[in-house]
Structure formats: structure tokens, C-alpha cells
Copies of this chain bind each other. A is one copy, B any other.
């Protein structure tokens, strides 16, 4: 671990405050369940209001939660006055989004001063069975510094 993996001040408070401002997380019923330097987890319960045509969690909902998990994993390593901006991401849908609850983990693969790359995994949780990997994401995230009025 090098310096770029060392968080600046109260990173958890900053991540939580920014997450709380993402109103779509509330719309999806998503909760921020873990924040450590460079790794963030989000969870949500299955709801029919989030489904695609076969009754599974829509790939876009999976992407929304993975994007926030990857973005906040990156943000947790940014300077306190920076803002986080996703430039692009790719998602592979490995299995149908079938489960009672879903866990989305984002982790920083490559920290950086301007560009951060994070990878994410989405797991379906179903009773006592093992978590099932349903999707992966690779996201490229930008550290936005010094833009008036843009923070978090």
C-alpha cells in the first residue's frame, strides 16, 4: 500500500454524507453497509419495483448500485475537498439478478491523483446459500478538484 491508499481525514463521514445526497439510493432502497479505505459496500433488498421483464433485478439497477459502490470506493481515497466523477464503466451480467437481497462491493484497483480505476462485484444473497456473483464492473473515475460549488 502506498500513499495513494491513505485516506484524507474523516473519509467515512464524507462518503456517508455524499451517499445520503444521492436520492436515487433512497428510491432503490439501497443502504451503505461498509466504508473502508478503497472499499465500499452497498446492499439492497429485492423489490418488484426494480425488475426487468422476467421478474429479476434490472441490469441498470445493478449498475446503479455498482457505480455508487465503485465511485465511493474511489472517493474514500480522495483529498477532502475533491469531488468524484464517473467517466465510464463496463458491466458484465453473469447470472440473472435473482435473489432476496443483493450486495455490491466496489474496490480501488489503481489509485491516482487524477484518475482512479475501481472494480466492482454484485452478489445475490438468498437465504442460507452462498452468495452468487451476478455481475462485475470496471469503472474509471476522475478526481475533480477546485471546481467551485462541486464537492462530494
Binding site for B on A (CB under 8 A): 18-19, 21-24, 26-27, 48-54, 58-61, 63-68, 83, 85-95, 109-110, 114-115, 117, 119, 133, 136, 138, 140, 142, 150, 152
Residues of B within 8 A of A91 (CB): 63, 88-90
A92 touches B138 (CB 8 A): yes
| 5 additional A-B residue pairs with CB within 8 Å, beyond A21-B54, A24-B50, A60-B63 | A22-B58, A58-B64, A60-B67, A92-B138, A119-B136
- Give A19 to B86 CA distance when docked, in angstroms: 28
Chain A interface, DSSP helix/strand/loop, else mixed:
mixed
B27 touches A50 (CB 8 A): yes
Residues of B within 8 A of A85 (CB): 93
